[in-house]
Amino acid sequence: MKSFARMLYPYLIWIAIMILAPMLLIILYAFTKQGNSVLTLQFTLENFARFFSDSIFPNVLWRSLKIALITTVICILLGYPAAYFIAKLEGNRKSIMVLLITLPMWINMLVRTYAWRGILLNFPVSSEFKVFVGMVYNFIPFMILQIYTSLTKMDQSLLTAAEDLGANKVQTFLRVTLPLSMPGVISGITLVFLPAVSSFFIPKLLGGGDYVLVGNLIENYFISTGDWNFGSAISLIMAVIIMISMFITKKVDYENKGETRMKKLKSLFSRFYLLLVLAFFYLPILYVVVFSFNDSKSLSKFTGFSLQWYEKMFANRTIMESIYYTVVIAVIATVVSTIVGTIAAIGLSKSRRIVKELTLQINNLPMMNPEIVTAIGLMLLFTSLNIKTGFMTLLLAHIAFCIPYVMLSIMPKLRQMDPNLPEAALDLGATPWQALTKVIVPEIMPGIVSGALIAFTMSFDDFVISFFTTGPGINNISIYVYSMYKRINPSINALSTIIVVMITFVLILVNVIPMIKERKLKKNEKLD
């Protein structure tokens, strides 16, 4: 099996350059001063002293932590009932609901957030409230899906045993269901709190620049003022706080006649609640679609039907180029990250324990760190190596953050695979290549496909990392939408509508058709 373990070696060099080096550069810049050249840096603690001595910066950090915490709590309170009701559905209804929850996540996050800007123009609400709406809307699906997964994996016999022992519905939920679903809740907290605390485009798009969070500070000091040392210090402070919060979360212990009527009432309530959740998810999407046909520029008043924004979109060279770069980058990054991630995962599975654990720790850094920290780390790396930012840096950055997600999808499949299968193939005279292509890859193919889909979604939807690693003239859809935050451009609605239609069509092909085939197969089996 040494031949398989050697497959990991090239990836070790890759993560040393593309993951570990950027993090070390952030630390280096945070503790130094004097310009943006590594050779001219001088050790200092002034950046941290500056941050904590001025009340403005700690206040912004506290505001970011507060809004992330409140967003997380709201997502738990709203997401848990939704996940619980979905888990109680039967058959295809459950799969369809999961699909409906997942579908909006495939649509560009900047586009969805931009849609809320138009909706909220009709209501006299504060900038803070708008930011909360954007935060909850974008991150609550992660909470729902994590809790749902935990609930579906629950041993149903435990619930039956609790009822047999005399526990009522409330007692069963509080003493059995809730404790057993805590791993999903904890995972959901991580997936919501982490991006919420570091978000800077949601406050920018919905808050109009009036509501500043720590992510906006980092963007300002790297992009506007050019003070990379102080920006790195802020990033490091935020990263440390995130690491501490994640450590704390990981330490949490996971460990009659009216009955029919009550069941009906519960069923009606659950359906009504799920309907409200879906309305919340799809309102911005529907809003975008409707106003893409608006005759005027208004985002709050529909004045008549027109196709002019579609005509202007196709005539707009910048928009067309952003679509081109988005698709090309996503496709290439998906192909490369899937191939590299598969090879690295197989090599990692056959490596020694110490190598495996250390590699996984480094490999998980892009997923554990706030996205903006990963982004500026890559930006510092390219600058330090005198690599001109543009198409290639954007592509390398996308490959760098996609590979860990591919490996995350493949590793469980490798653990489930019988380790004796490759060895048996080798004993029967197969070459390592034949054992790899004929035995290992077919066994882990579901994980590879899942990883590829995640990689494509992550790349297609990415904004933060793209924003810091791209160059002049190389913009994806997210960057283009972000550049429009101070202007009203209904062509974005037309672009968003096309994306919605394409993604919906693809998801129907991928999910609904197999369900129909499975149903037909079951009918045929019954007839036989």
User: Three-state SS string across 161-221, please?
Assistant: HHHHCCCCHHHHHHHHHHHHHHHHHHHHHHHHHHHHHHCCHHHHHHCCCCCCCHHHHHHHH
Residue 258 has a pLDDT of: 43
Q: What are the helix and strand counts (H, E) for the chain?
A: 28, 2
* Chain position carrying tokens 């904590």: 52
Residue 379 banded pLDDT, cuts 50, 70, 90 = very high
Residue 26 has a pLDDT of: 92
Lowest mean pLDDT among 29-38, 357-366, 440-449: 29-38
Helix (H) or strand (E) holding 431: none
Residue 136 has a pLDDT of: 94
Average pLDDT over the chain, rounded to whole? 83
Residue 3 has a pLDDT of: 65
Rounded distance between C-alpha atoms, residue 129 and residue 109, angstroms: 19
Out of 88-97, 234-243, 334-343, give the one with best mean pLDDT.
334-343
Q: What secondary structure does DSSP assign to 77-120, as a single string?
A: HHHHHHHHHHHH--THHHHHHHHHHHHHHHS-HHHHHHHHHHHH
Nearest Cα neighbor of 362 from 407, 417, 414 is 407
Residue 15 has a pLDDT of: 92
Q: What is the pLDDT of residues 410-425, one digit of tens each?
A: 988 888 888 778 778 7
Q: What is the pLDDT of residues 196-225, one digit of tens each?
A: 988 888 888 887 766 788 888 898 898 888
DSSP 8-class letter at 40: G
Average pLDDT over residues 113-133: 86
Helix (H) or strand (E) holding 475: none
Residue extent(s) of CATH 1.10.3720.10 domains in the chain: 1-28+307-489, 31-306+491-528
Average pLDDT over residues 455-463: 88
Residue 256 has a pLDDT of: 43
Among residues of the chain, what percentage have pLDDT more than 70?
A: 87
Q: Which residues pair with 33 in a beta bridge?
A: 42
Residue 516: CB atoms within 10 Å: 10
Is a pLDDT exceeding 50 seen at residue 262? no
3-state helix, strand, coil in the chain (%, to 5): 80, 0, 20
For residues 31 and 47, the answer to whether their CB atoms sit within 8 Å is yes
Residue bearing the bigger pLDDT, 209 or 195: 195
Average pLDDT over residues 90-111: 81
Rounded distance between C-alpha atoms, residue 234 and residue 373, angstroms: 10
Rounded distance between C-alpha atoms, residue 277 and residue 281, angstroms: 6
Q: What secondary structure does DSSP assign to 134-163, as a single string?
A: HHHHHHHHHHHHHHHHHHHTS-HHHHHHHH
Rounded distance between C-alpha atoms, residue 356 and residue 12, angstroms: 11
For the chain, state the CA radius of gyration: 25
Is a pLDDT exceeding 90 seen at residue 399? yes
Q: What is the CATH number of domain 31-306+491-528?
A: 1.10.3720.10
Is a pLDDT exceeding 80 seen at residue 457? yes
Is a pLDDT exceeding 80 seen at residue 21? yes
Is a pLDDT exceeding 60 seen at residue 450? yes
Q: Which amino acid is at 488?
A: I
Out of 92-101, 377-386, 475-484, 501-510, give the one with best mean pLDDT.
377-386
Structure tokens at 76: 């738990």
Is a pLDDT exceeding 80 seen at residue 43? yes
Residue 524 banded pLDDT, cuts 50, 70, 90 = low
Q: What is the pLDDT of residues 160-174, one digit of tens each?
A: 776 667 777 777 777
How many alpha carbons lie under 13 Å from residue 214 in its C-beta half-sphere?
34
Residue 485 has a pLDDT of: 67
Q: Which residues contact 364 (CB under 8 A, 6 or more apart)?
A: 404
Rounded distance between C-alpha atoms, residue 302 and residue 490, angstroms: 12
Residue 513 has a pLDDT of: 64
* Chain position carrying tokens 């996308």: 398
Residue 257 has a pLDDT of: 42
φ and ψ at residue 294, rounded to 5 degrees = -70, 140
Rounded distance between C-alpha atoms, residue 114 and residue 402, angstroms: 25
Q: Which residues contact 443 (CB under 8 A, 6 or more apart)?
A: 413, 417, 421
Average pLDDT over residues 309-327: 90
Structure tokens at 263: 């069941």
Residue 199 has a pLDDT of: 86
* Chain position carrying tokens 């297609």: 460
Looking at domain 1-28+307-489, its CATH class is mainly alpha
Residue 1 has a pLDDT of: 54
Residue 396 has a pLDDT of: 95
Q: What is the pLDDT of residues 277-298, one digit of tens each?
A: 889 988 888 888 888 898 888 7
Enter the pTM of the model: 0.82
Residue 254 has a pLDDT of: 41
- Per DSSP, the three-state class of 305 is strand
Sign of CA pseudo-dihedral 183, 185, 186, 192: positive
